[in-house]
Structure 1
Amino acid sequence: MKLWKRMGAAALAGALALSMVACGGGNAAASGTSTTASSSGTAAATGSNVLNVMTEVEVASLDPQLATDGTSFEVIANYTDGLMQMDADGQPVPAIAESYEVSEDGCTYTFHLREDANWSNGDPVTANDFVFAWQRAADPATASEYSYMMSDIGQIKNAAEIIAGEMDKSELGVTAVDEKTLQVELTVPVPYFLNLMYFPTFYPVNQAFYEGLAEGTFGTSPDTVLSNGAFILDSYEPAALSFSLVKNPDYYDADKVQLDGLNYQVIKDSQQAFMSYQNGDLDIVKLSGDQVDQVQGDPELSVHGAGYLWYLTLNMDGVPALANQNLRLALTHAIDRTSIVEDVVKDGSLATYTAVPPQFATGPDGSDFSEDQTMFQDVCSDDPAKAAEYLEAAKAELGQDTFTFQLLVEDTTESQNVAAVIKEQVETNLPGVTMEIKVEPKKQRVEDIQEGNYEVCLTRWGPDYADPMTYLNMWITDNNNNYGKWSNAEYDAIIADCTTGQYVSDAAARWQALYDAEKIIMEEAVIVPVYTKADACMIKSGVTGVDFHPVALNRVFKSATKG
C-alpha cells in the first residue's frame, strides 16, 4: 500500500484533494524526576525573563475537551502539546507525534509518538492518552460543545453515532496500537486533518491522573492539570484575574524555550491595560482604537490579523419579528461597517460583508475564499436607503411600525464602543427601531446566546482550522453554535455534500459548493457580519519570537524571548 510519510500539510492536502474517495474498511492499512506545579494557586512567576501578558477576558475552562474560547485555548496550549503544533507560518509540524503515515485512500492516519514526551508527573505520554481524551470529547456524558470536531469536522469513524448515543464511546475510530503508536480511522478523507491536530479538543489527557481526581475538579488548579508542553501551570483558580506558568524543564523541546515563565493579567479596561504597559508591568498589551491613534509610529506597535469575525446573531426562534427576512436585511444594510473599523475599532480590522471572513482560508487555486467583499453587496452593504426599503417591507408584512430589541454585548471596551455605534446607526437609519444595550461578562453572554436567552447579540467566532467550513458548519440545523436556531434543508444538504457526500473527491467543486452555501446565509441574513478583527498590540522592544495566528491559537509563546 502506497503511503505518504511526514508530508507537509499543504502537500498532503493537495494530494488528498486529487485522490479523495469514501473510506472503506479494507483498504486503509497503514505501515508502518519530573517537575510538578505549585499548589499555592496564588504565586506568580518571577524574574526578568518572565513575560507579562495581558488578556481581555478570564479563562473559561482549562479542560481541553470542554474549552470553547480563544483565551482558554491559548493557556491550555501553553502547557499542552497535541500530536502536531503550529509553526511560525501556521502550518502543522510534529509535536508529540514524531512522525506519521497516511494510507493511500487518506482514511487512516498512523502517528508514532515521541519516546521522550512525558507528563509533568513523570508518566510517559502514550497513545492511550489520546484515545481517552478523544473518547471523552465524543461521549455525550461529557457534553462537549466541540464534540462535532470529532464527527462533522474530523470525520472520525463512529464519532457521529457515539455523539448521538447510538454507539459506545469505545467504538470511536481511534486505537492505541501500542504505547507509542496511535491509529485513527476516518469515514472520508479530510484534507485539513493534520491542522486539527493542533486544536485543543484533540489534546491528550492522562487517564489515570484524571480518574484519580475528585469529580469536577480537573483543570481547576495547578494540582489538577498535568503538562506535557513548554510550560507548567504554576498558579490558577477559576475566574482568576491573574495566573502564571513556569518553564517545563523536562519538556522534550526545552532547549527551544527561552522564557522562564508567563504571567497573565486579565484587564478588561483598555486604559488600565495601557497604563500597566507604560509602567512596565506588562510586556504585551492589546490596544483600543483611540489608543492606536496615540501610538502611531511607535516601533513597539504591532498589528496582526486575529481571524475573528464579529457579527450580530439574531434570535429568529425566540423573537417573532426577527424571523422576518426583510427586517433582518434592513438591519444588515443599516450598519456602516467602514465607519466602525475606521472611527471606532481603528486597529487594522476589516469591514466585512461575508459570512466567512477574509485572510485565513485559501482554495485549490491559492486564492483567498473571501477576498471579494462585494460578492453579496445586493444583500449586505452599508446602504441606509436599502435598509429603509427593507424596513418598510417588514412593517407591511408584520403589521407593526415600531420594534425594540435588546442588544447583548460583553463587557470589554471595544465591544461596548462598537455596540454603542451600532445602536446609533440602526436607530438613525431605521426609524421606529430601538436598540437597548445590555452588558454582561463574556462567559455569561456566551451562556445566554447558547441557551437562547437573547434577542440580538454582538458576538464573534474565530476559525478553528483553515477552511471555510469552520464558519459554515455553524449554521447547519441544530448545531450548538447556530444561536438563531435557523434551519434550511438546502443548506444542510450542501454542507453534507461537502463533508461526506459528492464533493469530497473534487476540491474545486467543493469550493464552489461552499460559496453556494454562503450565498444562502447571506441572502437570508442569518447573521449580520460586521468586521474581521485585527489585534493592535504594544510589545516591548526586547520581546521577540511571539507567533501570532488568525487560526486556532492566536498567540504562541514557545519561541518567545525577552531581551
Structure 2
Amino acid sequence: MIANFDITTLDYVYNNKSSNGDYTCNFVEGLLTQDNHGKLVPGMATEWSCNDDASEWTFTIRDDAVWSTSAGEEYDAVTAEDFVTGLKHAADSKSETLGLVADLIVGLREYSEGTGKWEDVGIKADGNQLTYTLTGPCGYFDGMTTYAILWPINAEFLESKGSDFGAVEPDSILYNGCYILSSLVPAQEVRFDANPNYYDAKNVFVQHVVVTYSDGKDPAQQFNMFVNGEVTSTTVNQSLPEVVAKAAELYPDNQYKSMTTATSYWGAFNWDRQMYALYNDPSVSTTSKTDAQKADTKAAILNADFRRAVYAAYSAHAVEAITLGEEHADGVIRNTLIPYTFQTTSDGRAYGSIVEKYAAELVADYEGIDLNDGHDAWYNPELAKTFAERAKEELGDSVSEWPIHIDVPVYAASENQKNMQLAMKKSVEDAIGDYVVIDLQFLEGNSSVYYSSFYNQPTGEDNSIDLVFGAGWGPDYGDPLTYLHCFDVHDGDMLNYSGINIESQGQSEEQKAVLETLGLNEVQEIVDQATAATGDERIELFAKAEAMLLTNGILRPYSTSGANITISKVKPFTVAYGLYGQAAYNQVPYFKYMQLLDEPVTAAEYEAAKEAWMAGK
C-alpha cells in the first residue's frame, strides 16, 4: 500500500498524530481491541469489569503475552505494571493526548502539573490485576483503553533508552502487538513483519507489509502499482480519464464504493498568527503580504461573520470532485464535527438533529439547515456575500484595505493537492472575491515541508498559515467528548493547528484573549456541564456545544474518509473495524485479521459481504 507521510515518532503514548498512530497500532496492543464488527474483545486483558457506577475498572492481564525486540527476540512478559509505567511516561513526557485522561483518572492532572504525587494517581497494579480509579462514572472507559495513551511500556526498557525511547528507529520500542517494524527509509518505504511471539498469531494472516511513500506527483501511482501487483488495493481517481478507462477495461466487475468512517475533516483559521515562514526553516516564506495586510487578516479572522463568509463560500463538492468526480463527490461530504448518528437519545433523536436545532437558535441564517452527510450543507454563495457585507461593516476602521488576503498552503508536488486548492480558491473568490483573496502558498519539497506549515509544528505559535482545509480527527472512544476535546481551551488536541498553544506550552495573554473573543470559553462551560451529565442531557449539551462551534465559524466540516471507488484483493470485512481506537485508521490499517484474495473482489461479492456484515453487527 502507499502513504503520503513519514513517521515522526514511535513514542505511541506521547503521539496524537494519525500519521504515526496508523503504524504503531500494528506494533503495540493495549488492554482491549476490536474485532471485525467493532466489538470490544480481549487484548492484553482477558477479563474486565467495573463497579456499579463505573468509576473503578479492573482488568486481568493475560499470562501468555510477551514483549519482543525489533530483532524478534523475547524480551520480557507483559505485566500489569507495564500499564502503570505507560501512563506515568505519558504524564512525564507531557503527552500530546494527556488531556484525554488527565481529568478522568484520579490524581493524574495534579501529578502532571507538579502538585500531586504519583502514588496518589488512580492506577494500581497487583499481580496480574490492573485497577483504574476514576474521578467519576465513565461507562465507556473500556473503549478508551483501545487508545494509545493507555498502552503499556516496559519500565526496564524505557530506562535503558532514556530520551531515545520512541525515536524513529525499529529498536527504539518493544513490540507486544501483531507486527515488528523491520525497516524504514524516510520518503521511501516502511516494512514490518508478523511478530513470531504474538499470543494470537493465528489471526495474523498477512505476514509481511510494505508501505510505499508517495509524494503525490503521480496521481495514478497507486492504480499503476495495483495493476503491477505491487499493492493489494487502490482507489480509482475519477479525475484521471486514462485511469477510469483502464479500470473499466481491466476490472469491469471489481469496482465498489468504500464505506465512510467516523473521521471528520474540517477547515480552520489560524486565530493568532505569529509566523510567516516555516518554524524549522525560516528561509521558506509562507506569505507575500505586507505588514498592513497581515494586520488586516488578523483582525478579520477574529470576526465571526468574516469566518462564516469564507466557510459559506467554500464548495466542498467542487473540491472533492477533483479526485472523486462529479458523480461521487457528495458521498464523502460531512457537515458536522461529530457524525450525525454517532449517538441517539432515548426518544430516538439523532445527535445531528439536535445540532441542527441549536444552530438555528444561535444564528437565524441557519434555520432549516440539514446537517446529514452526503451533501454540502454549509455552501451558500449568496449567504456568504451577506456574511461578508456584515463583516465589513462590523470591522470598520480596524481593517485598512479590502479584500482580505488569506494564505493557504499547497503541497506543490501533488497534482491532486494543487487542483483541489485551486478549486477552493475559485469557489471562495467567485462568491466573495470583493472581500477575500486566497493566496496559495506553493511549498516545494516532500510532504514534510508542507506539513511543517500547520501539522507538524511543535506549538500553536509555530503555525505559519492563515487557513487550512485539512484538520481532522477520528474518535478515541465512543463519546462525543472525544471530538469536542479538540477545542478544549486548556489542552485541546487541535489548538495548535489554529495557532494557540496549549497551557503546558505557555498560553500567552494575547492567546487567552483570542479564545475569549472567539467564544471558546463559553463553549468550554457547556462542554464541562455535558461532561458531568449523563443520558439525554449529556447528548443535548454536547450537541449545543458543537452548534456553538459551527455557527460561530470556529470550524467548517467538509468531509470524512472513505466513499472512494475501490478495487481490492482484501477479503471484504475481514479487517478489524472500529469507529475509534486501534481499529480506526486513515491511510495504514490495523492488519490483524486481514485476509487477502488471489483476485480482486467483485462488486457483487463486496455488496453481499457488506449485507452479511451489517446483519451481524
TM-score range normalised by the length of the shorter chain? 0.7 to 0.9
- How much does 1:397 deviate? 2.2
Counterpart for residue 75 of structure 2: 122
Give me the whole-angstrom Cα distance separating, in 2, the residues matched to 1:232 and 1:250: 10
State which of 315, 318, 322 in structure 2 corresponds to 1:339.
Answer: 318
2:543 aligned to which of 500, 515, 528: 515
Q: Return the structure number with greater helix share.
A: 2
2:99 to 144, 148, 165: 148
Tell me if structure 1 keeps the 8 A contact 2:13–2:148.
yes
**Alpha-carbon distance between aligned partners in 2 of 1:373 and 1:495, rounded to the nearest angstrom:** 14
Contact 1:233–1:244 (8 Å) recurs in 2: yes
Alpha-carbon contact 1:91-1:195 (below 8 Å) kept: no
Alignment of 1:257 onto 2:204 = yes
Structure 2 runs not aligned, ≥5 long: 69-73, 274-297, 367-376, 501-514, 598-617
Q: CA deviation at 1:414?
A: 4.6
The answer as to whether partners of 1:109 and 1:184 remain within 8 angstroms in 2 is yes
**Match of residue 394, structure 1, among 391, 394, 404:** 391
Q: Is the 8 A contact 1:138 1:150 kept in 2?
A: no
Deviations 1:412-445 (A, max 9, x none): 5554433221111111100231111225535413
User: Cα deviation per residue 1:451-495 (whole Å; 9 max; x = unaligned)?
Assistant: 333211122322222322222122221324124343433211111
Taking structure 1 as reference, are residues 69 and 472 closer, same or farther at Cα in structure 2, changes over 3 Å only? same
Provide the residue aligned with 1:31 in structure 2.
none
The Cα shift of 1:261 comes to 1.8
Match in the other structure for 1:162: 111
Alpha-carbon contact 1:119-1:125 (below 8 Å) kept: yes
Please name the residue that 2:575 is paired with.
546
User: How many positions carry a matched residue from both structures?
Assistant: 501
Give the C-alpha shift of residue 168 in structure 1: 3.6
Counterpart position of 1:434: 437
Pairwise CA distance, 1:116: 0.3
Q: Are 2:265 and 2:471, in contact at CA under 8 Å, matched by a contact in 1? A: yes
SS at match of 1:249: coil
The answer on whether the counterparts of 1:353 and 1:373 sit within 8 Å (CA) in structure 2 is no
Shift of residue 317 of structure 1?
2.5
* 1:481 aligned onto 2:428: no
Aligned positions of 1:403-422 closer than 5 A: 403-410=404-411, 414-422=416-424
Partners of 1:60 and 1:72 within 8 A in 2: yes
TM-score, with structure 2 as normaliser:
0.75
Cα distance in 2, alignment partners of residues 232 and 366 from structure 1 = 45
CA distance in 2, matches of 1:92, 1:410: 38
One-letter amino acid of the structure 2 residue matched with residue 165 of structure 1: G
Aligned-residue RMSD, C-alpha: 2.6
Distance 1:474 1:135, change over 3 A: same
Would you say the 8 A contact 1:307–1:534 is kept in 2?
Answer: no
1:226 maps onto 2:174 in alignment: yes
Q: In structure 2, how many angstroms separate the alpha carbons of the residues matched to 1:508 and 1:542?
A: 40
Q: 1:116–1:307: structure 2 CA closer, same or farther, 3 Å change rule? A: same
Q: Give the conservation status (yes or no) of the 8 Å contact 2:46–2:60.
A: yes
Query: Which stretches in structure 1 are left out of the alignment for 5+ residues?
Result: 1-52
Q: Which amino acid aligns with 1:143?
A: K
Counterpart CA distance in 1 for 2:437 and 2:118 is: 49
Tell me the equivalent position of 2:214.
Answer: 267
SS in 1 for 2:261: strand
- Note if 1:175 corresponds to 2:187: no
Match of 2:300 in 1: 321
Change (3 A) 1:439 1:66: farther
Tell me which moved more, 277-286 or 181-190. Answer: 277-286
Shift of 1:447: 3.0
In 1: Cα distance, 2:403 partner to 2:205 partner: 60
Q: What is the deviation of 1:546? A: 2.7
Whether the 8 Å CA contact 2:318–2:424 is kept in 1: the answer is no
Moved more, 257-266 or 75-84: 257-266
Q: What CA distance in whole angstroms lies between the structure 2 residues aligned with 1:184 and 1:334?
A: 48
1:215 to 163, 168, 177: 163
Matches of 1:363 and 1:84, distance apart in 2 = 27
Distance 1:343 1:542, change over 3 A: closer
Q: Secondary structure at the match of 2:318?
A: helix
CA drift of 1:357 comes to 3.4
Using the TM superposition, name which of 324-333 and 455-464 deviates more. Answer: 455-464
Structure 2 CA distance for partners of 1:250 and 1:369, relative to 1, 3 Å: same
Instruction: Give, as a single letter, the amino acid of the residue that structure 2 aligns with 1:351.
Output: I
Alignment map for 1:84-123 (pairs within 5 Å): 84-120=32-68, 121-123=74-76
Q: Distance in 2 between matches of 1:112 and 1:299?
A: 45
Mapped partners of 2:478, 2:38: distance in 1: 9
TM-score normalised to structure 1 length = 0.82
Other-structure match for 1:557? 591
Q: Contact (CA 8 Å) 1:308, 1:460: kept in 2 or not?
A: no
Contact 1:494 1:513 in 2 (8 A): yes
Whether the 8 Å contact between 1:357 and 1:532 is mirrored in structure 2 is no
